[in-house]
Amino acid sequence: MSAVISEHDARTQHWRDDFPLLSRQVHGKPLVYFDSAATAQRPRQVLQAMDDFYRQHNANVHRGVHSLSGEATDLFEAARRKLCQHINASSEREVIFTRGSTEAINLVAQAYLRPLLQAGDEILISHMEHHSNIVPWQMLREQTGAVLKVIPVTDSGELDLQALPELISERTRMLGLVHVSNALGTINPVREVCALARRHGITTIIDGAQAMPHLAVDVQALGCDFYTMSGHKMYGPTGIGALYGREALLEAMPPWQGGGEMIRTVTFEETTWNDLPAKFEAGTPNIAGAIGLGAAVDYIAKIGLDAIAAHEQDLLQFATDKMREIDGLRIIGEARDKASVVSFVIDGVHPHDLGTIVDHHGFAIRTGHHCTMPLIKRFGLPATARASLALYNTRHEIESFIPALRQACDMLR
């Protein structure tokens, strides 16, 4: 191992030390976790925050008059406040906790768009969407007779911006776009697309699940109407995420799910709804999850997204250069603007077999269609292998990945 690589990795070793799981072994080899786009690992600060809540402050939120309930409520709402500030939402009323990005998209589809849609109205999404930003609109299509149109993706894995204006019509009601593609790493020009949509009076929903761990997100600067987030992709726990929605839109929407918390008064004759954000948070929320998400926001903010992005971009370039040295390896997704995701195929080597073999060397990569079946099919492939890198990955890990890849090729070709 060269001295230059060691020095580079030494600068970020203290980040890595925050993640207890990274010290474990797999098949007797040190774990190298290259699957953060599937789920990120959790730093001890997030684990501690959730553990502290359950050990010291556990109570239900909002409704109790006793001290413990007050403490739980304060911690829960503090998490909301942190997320609100992190994405520069103009008010905490605009941040709705959900189970994740998928639920947030479904909420918008059913509670915002469905009441507005007429048969023949159009919903525009891109060819690189995750299934979570395809299927809810397909379901809406079945329910309302709306039409789904798809913005093409170029061979390099970028949005075909030239084709986009032609797809917009006076019937277009919603434009859904992924901010960062989980399969390709492409960072989409969300601000420009939202500006175009606004000029045509089209509501926008941006899937930010993969963007939040890699980029600074300012929803006001982006100019989107809705933005969805997923806690476990951004070093937070599973089972929690959030929907940002412009207050005027959320105010006008009917509730999503009914139950406790989201009501003001209930009689059998009539029920009135609570204010935002509670209107969209029926039932006891994932309190510990929200607190964990708040701790994840703190963690990211403490390191700084600029520093994270710089590190990840260095890893991305390093990995891309090293992997291109392997005969027959083709990188899928070569956008000019990419997050640290490398999807690839190797001639004569099926991704699943590759994934199984490198797993035996301790490497966790993802193989398959990555919940983007239309996109993978667009590239004429049954599947790809994907290495997705996060703040705790190192150049050393990438260096050691290459011989494992070569060995897999030797075995299978």
Partner 1 sequence: MQHNRHPVGFRAALPHTAGWYQTRAINPLCGDEIELAAHLQPCQTAIDQPALLLSELVFCGDSCAICTASASMLCAQMPGQSARQAAPLAQQFIDFVHQRSPLSDQRLQPLSVFAQLQQLPNRKSCAILPWQALQDVLAAVNKSEHQ
Kindly list the residues in this chain that would bind partner 1 in the complex (CB under 8 A). 350-353, 356, 367-369, 373, 376, 382-383, 411-412
Q: How far is CA 134 from CA 139, 226, 373, in A?
A: 9, 16, 10
Minimum distance from residue 101 beta carbon to partner 1 (Å):
20
Cis peptide before 30 (omega within 30 of 0): no
Question: Which of 318/379 has CB closer to partner 1?
Answer: 379
User: Which residue among the candidates 84, 194, 371, 409 is catalytic per the annotation?
Assistant: 371
Smaller CB separation from partner 1, 149 or 360: 360
Task: Give which of 72, 101, 111 is closest to 262, Cα–Cα.
Answer: 111
Give Rg (Cα) of the chain.
22
For residue 92, the number of C-alpha atoms closer than 13 Å in the C-beta half-sphere is 9
DSSP string of 198-229? HHTT-EEEEE-TTTTTTS---HHHHT-SEEEE
189: part of which helix (H) or strand (E)?
none
| 206/357 with CB nearer partner 1 | 357
Closest CB to partner 1 among 236 and 351?
Answer: 351
Active site residue 371: yes
Q: How far is the CB of 241 from partner 1 (least distance, A)?
A: 23
- Looking at beta carbons only, is 190 or 349 nearer to partner 1? 349
CB of 341 to partner 1, least distance (A): 18
Write out the two tokens for 379.
Answer: 């590239």
Residue with Cβ nearer partner 1 (353 or 399)? 353
Minimal CA–CA distance to 175: which of 144, 153, 207?
A: 207
**Closest separation in Å from C-beta 32 to partner 1:** 18
Tell whether the torsion through CA atoms of 244, 40, 338 and 159 is positive or negative: negative
Minimal distance, residue 331 CB to partner 1, in Å: 18
d(CA 46, CA 18): 10
Give the CA angle between residues 371, 375, 376 to the nearest 5°.
Answer: 80
Q: How far apart are CA 332 and CA 404, in angstroms?
A: 20
CB-nearer residue toward partner 1: 301 or 411: 411
Q: Crossing angle for the helix pair 287-303 and 67-86, nearest 10 degrees?
A: 40
Query: Among all chains, which residue has been given the structure tokens 């980040």?
Result: 15
CB of 49 closer than 8 Å to CB of 291: yes
DSSP symbol at 55: I
Torsion angles phi and psi, residue 202, rounded to 5: -100, 135
- Smallest gap from Cβ 350 to partner 1, in A, equals 4
Taking the complex as a whole, the smallest distance from the CB of residue 307 to partner 1 amounts, in Å, to 35
- Among all residues, which ones are annotated catalytic? 371
